[in-house]
Amino acid sequence: MKPKINNITAWKQAELLMQPAFIRILDHIRKKLENSVWQGTYEEVQTPIPGYRLDLEYENQKISINVWELCYQVCFSNYISTHAAEETVEIDIDINLLNEEGNVNWDMLDEKALKVVENMMADLPKVE
């Protein structure tokens, strides 16, 4: 799903948050995969939005996850993933991720990124 940002302030806040969210998401995925049976690889994709896909594989199971979707879950307070990639939804910045000066609140961002990655891992098919 494509996020839609309707004002310049929210756009600037999204620009400020997306790269740190991306970095924290990748770091948490790396740490979780170290203690997992799943093997992960990244691939650059162009559609529906240029970005990165995480391919997880274990035995005969393969799962693909859009990394931007994970970042959106971190940065936006009302973002819900759907299977309709072309769908556009108006979003709200999670202002809890910003401090009083309008800068990144690193502790809150890291905490939310970890929760998003933990939820992603919990949603993977159960393996024995």
Find how far residue 124's CA is from the centre of its chain.
Answer: 15
Give the pLDDT score at 1: 63
Residue scoring higher pLDDT (15 or 4): 15
Q: Tens of pLDDT along 44-71? A: 998 767 789 999 999 989 999 999 999 9
Per-residue buried b or exposed e for 48-78, using 16+ beta carbons within 10 Å of the residue's own CB:
eeeebebebeeeeeeeebbbbbbbbbbbbee
Residue scoring higher pLDDT (85 or 19): 19
Q: Which helix (H) or strand (E) holds 51?
A: strand 51-58
C-alpha closest to that of 9 among 68, 127, 95, 123: 95
Q: Kindly report the pTM of this predicted structure.
A: 0.88
